[in-house]
Amino acid sequence: MLKFIKGNSKLIIRLFLNQIGMTVFGLMISMTTAAIETARNEGEPVGAGNHVWLFWASVFAVLFYLFICYAALFDEGQRDKIRVEAGRVPYKPAKGFFIALCASAPNFILALLVVITGFFGRESSSFAFAWAGGASGVLKLIALLFQGMYWGIMLQLSRVEVIAAIPPYWYVLITLPLLATGFLGYFAGLKDRSLKNAIKKAFTPVQSTKSTKEKRQ
């Protein structure tokens, strides 16, 4: 595993830096949208489940982030395609998944800690500890600093008003899109099947062999 991380360290770091950059971008547009929503509501709290603008701003930030990561892993897949065909490296279609997994390691660690402290911090739990509830809130804020682009989605779909009230399982769910994107992006590059060509092919009418021959004549 260490050999894999060392061999792909540049791309792993690149994905992690992409996440940090998109977190800043996501937080900026989310906070701006949240301020607009509050202003439209005449300064009153918007209320749980009513962050529609914030939700769509968050969706845009997430899609932009995943597109950037997809493009990086697609390029890596295309480079490896040449190496695989030349017999220089083995065929590993899941390589993009593991690269994304390594880049997401801090997210998984934070998600695990949020789930554990959230469980022990529940008032309804017989194992509740006073420190766990506070620790869960702090860890959620830290996790949000790593994945701020998901803020609006979590608030809207959870039907809560504050970050501390977001259910812990959300911090596990938001780690999954990058893993799927990592696998799909690298695999598409390895097979030389770009998203652009797939869309173009889907909207291009299929010509019959007979029509093609007639045009040539």
How far is Cα 22 from Cα 84, in angstroms, rounded to an integer? Answer: 32
pLDDT in tens, 12-21: 999 999 899 8
Residue 92, both tokens = 């590993």
pLDDT at 156: 86
> How many CB atoms sit inside 10 A of residue 204's CB?
9
Of the ranges 83-87, 96-100, 146-150, 192-196, the best mean pLDDT one: 96-100
pTM of this structure: 0.79
> How many CB atoms sit inside 10 A of residue 97's CB?
21
pLDDT at 188: 92
Q: Which residue has the higher pLDDT, 152 or 214?
A: 152
Placement of tokens 């697609």 in the chain? 74
Segment among 41-55, 59-73, 106-120, 129-143 with least mean pLDDT? 41-55
